[in-house]
Homo-oligomer: A and B are copies of this chain.
């Protein structure tokens, strides 16, 4: 199985590393990070750069394609090379997937039109504006499209996919290897559980990240 993970400047690292750590541990699986040009791709926090050797053209038929989100997503919404590639690989991929605001890119490329999908809680309306049917769930599967809510939700999406791809026992083995038995010290991971002051504060912070 070949998994292609798309990187672009301003990506959020956990959006892609979460699913990578899961899918990359499945048997007989090759993961290739791809970008429009071979380069060091700098993340949103501007302190992490990942070296990408493979271009989009180098990976024409991945079995799974994953795109993450992040502030850089806004730079990937114009039709062009990336959108063309996404539409092309989508025709043969077993799974076309996105975490966080990566869903907006898939939707922008026309792949989620009329489909149930999710994204970061702060971007759900934008997903609707792009023709998708936004769903407030952590992992949404519609046809061969899998989308995850914000950032850390990519881990849950990837474990769900791992089960569908390789069976429950393989998926559980990966979960045990990465000791994924989460114990967040706060219950503030969703706008429905976080204190109101925290939600308001976060919305102010994010409004510059996801301009509408």
Query: How often does this chain occur in the complex, in copies?
Result: 2
What is the total number of residues of chain A having a CB less than 8 Å from a CB of chain B? 67
Residue of B nearest to A12 (CB): B21
- Given A17-B14, A159-B185, A172-B198, the answer on whether A120 and B151 have CB atoms closer than 8 Å is no
Query: Judging by beta carbons under 8 Å apart, are A155 and B152 in contact?
Result: yes
Residue of B nearest to A120 (CB): B179
Query: Judging by beta carbons under 8 Å apart, are B151 and A21 in contact?
Result: yes
- Given A47-B33, A152-B180, the answer on whether A173 and B198 have CB atoms closer than 8 Å is yes
A163 at the interface (CB under 8 A from B): yes
Mark each residue of chain A from 155 to 193: 1 if its CB lies under 8 Å from any CB of chain B, else 0.
Answer: 110011001000011011101111111111111111101
Out of B25, B49, B169, B185, which one reaches A45, CB within 8 Å? B25
- Of A74-82, A105-113, A200-208, the segment with at least 4 beta carbons within 8 Å of chain B is A200-208
Query: How far in angstroms is the closest Cβ of chain B from A66?
Result: 13
